[in-house]
Amino acid sequence: MKAWVQDRYGSADVLEFAEVEKPVPGEREVLVRVHAAAVNAADWHLMRGDPYVARLALGLRRPKERIRGRDFAGRVEAVGAGVTGLRPGDEVFGEAPGTFAEYVCASEEVTELKPAGLTFEQAAAIPLAGNTALMGLRDLGNVQPGGKVLVNGASGGVGTFAVQLAKVFGAEVTGVCSPRNAELVLGLGADRVVDYTREDFTTGQDRYDLVLDLVGNRSLAELRRVLSPTGALVLSGGGVFEGGSVFGPMGLILKGRLLSRFSGRRIHVLTAEPRRENLAALRELAENGSIAPVVERTCPLAGAARALRYVEEEHARAKVVLSCPPPSGP
């Protein structure tokens, strides 16, 4: 099968579209013929091994996982021993390493039936970003009807889902984004948009019950300043920070982890582990029209390197998705 692999850290130039061995599903795994795979900021950070401290976990000299990509949507081709909830032919979506390929093996625990009515490309845009937004708002942020939520990075992959989900939970939503993305964020349901090129949301008079920070470009003191007396701050990665640093937004994350021990429930660091039950919840919301994935552009699988460059350099709105439909005919 064809897949995008890398054997050293660097720009998209280090990627190679190569022939590799087709994977075989292990126990409680499914083999999926990938029809679409979303590109995330995490993919290019992993490609570059950036921030550098992350290489302690990713691999010191080269990535431990050679094939890029995490989000997928496709059709089950085979199932391993112990799989009970899925069968060959099922249309599915989920999250697993190595999705920039024609096939991927994924655990049954992180694979769910594709939302009815969505294309494979739309479904592939949901898993990582949707799960991150859901866990940040529901599980850590405990968003309540009538609560005031601020999403810093509202036009990104996670942010577009966070705005929609916060409205599903009945919150009043303020989205922070660039002026070119204001219309998009308002169209997703935000009650107000802050243009970060003209206004500093951390110096205003508004206070929020939840601040979901998806950027990592403000200090903890600045972010805490805009919390209500019982408000919570949720830190999630910082997908759009400039690369080439030792710690990047992880410095903010580490400070957040330390302070969270002394702040009760007011500061949370989000680790969005993939869960099938969350995929099922997102599928239901997509099927009833409560949320809709926003796909800025679609590229063929062979254009993955170009897509990664775009996401890294242009700070893409919402999601960029790779399309890999199977060949037609017998």
Cβ atoms 47, 9 nearer than 8 A: yes
Q: Is residue 218 part of a domain?
A: yes
23 Cβ contact partners less than 8 Å away, ≥ 6 residues apart: 31, 98, 103, 104, 105
Angular region, 120: left φ>0, alpha ψ -120 to 50, beta rest: alpha
- Report the pLDDT averaged over residues 243-260: 50
Please check whether residue 29 lies inside any domain of the structure: yes
Q: Do 32 and 60 lie in a common domain?
A: yes
Across the chain, mean pLDDT equals 88
Number of structural domains found in the chain:
2
The single-letter DSSP state of residue 14 is: G
Residues 102 and 141 placed together within one structural domain of the fold: no
Both 122 and 133 in one domain: the answer is no
Q: Is the pLDDT of residue 235 over 50?
A: yes
Residue 182 lies in a domain: yes
Shared domain for 198 and 175, answered yes or no, is: yes
Amino acid identity, position 197: T
Q: How far apart are the first and last CA of the chain?
A: 17
240: pLDDT strictly greater than 50:
no
For residue 201, the 8-state DSSP code is G
Query: Is residue 7 domain-shared with residue 101, that is, in the same domain?
Result: yes
Residues 264 and 188 in one domain: yes
DSSP 8-class letter at 181: G
Q: For residue range 63-104, list pLDDT tens digits in order.
A: 768 898 999 999 999 999 999 999 999 999 999 999 999 999
Contacts of 119 (CB under 8 A, 6+ apart): 36
Contact 296, 316 (CB under 8 A): yes
Beta strand 16-19 with 29-39 is unpaired
170 and 227 housed in the same domain:
yes
Residue with tokens 């403000």: 218
Which range has the top average pLDDT, 26-30, 44-48, 237-241? 26-30
Among the listed residues 321, 300, 275, the one whose alpha carbon sits nearest the alpha carbon of residue 95: 275
pLDDT surpasses 70 at 106: yes
Domain boundary among 234, 253, 269: 269
Residue 287 lies in a domain: no
Q: Kindly state whether residues 24 and 63 are assigned to the same domain.
A: yes
Helices (H), 209-303: 220-225, 250-260, 276-287
Instruction: Report residue 121's pLDDT band, with 50, 70 and 90 as the boundaries.
Output: very high
Question: Do residues 216 and 304 share a domain?
Answer: no
Round to whole Å and give the CA distance between 111 and 322: 19
Last residue of some domain: 227, 254, 269? 269
Q: Which residues of 1-10 are buried (b: 16+ CB within 10 A; e: fewer)?
A: eebbbbeebe
On whether residue 280 sits in a domain, the answer given is: no
Q: Are residues 263 and 212 in the same domain?
A: yes
Q: Could you tell me the CATH number of the domain that includes residue 202?
A: 3.40.50.720
Do residues 75 and 90 make contact, with C-beta atoms less than 8 angstroms apart?
A: yes
Res 244: pLDDT: 44
Residue 265 pLDDT > 60: no
Which of 303, 308, 309, 298 lies closest to 122, judged by CA? 298
Q: Would you call the peptide bond into 229 cis, given omega within 30 degrees of 0 as the criterion?
A: no
- 3 Cα distance to chain centroid: 21
Nearest to 147 by CA among 172, 166, 175: 172
Average of per-residue pLDDT across 116-144: 97
Per-residue CA distances from 303 to 120, 123, 264, 300, 324 (Å): 17, 19, 46, 5, 10
* Position 22 in a domain: yes
For 52, the domain range is 2-126+293-323
Pairs from 79-85 (Cβ < 8 Å, separation ≥ 24)? 79/25, 79/29, 79/30, 79/31, 79/108, 80/25, 80/26, 80/27, 80/28, 80/29, 80/30, 80/31, 81/26, 81/27, 81/28, 82/27, 82/28, 82/108, 83/25, 83/28, 83/29, 83/30, 83/108, 84/108
Q: Which token pair is 195?
A: 């243009």
Say yes or no: 133 and 259 in one domain.
Answer: yes
Give me the CATH number covering residue 86: 3.90.180.10
Q: Are residues 305 and 199 in the same domain?
A: no
In a domain, 286, yes or no: no
The pTM assigned to this predicted structure is 0.89
The answer to whether residue 284 sits within a structural domain is no
- 140's CB contacts (< 8 A; 6+ apart) are 232, 234, 268, 270
Where a domain ends, among 269, 285, 305? 269
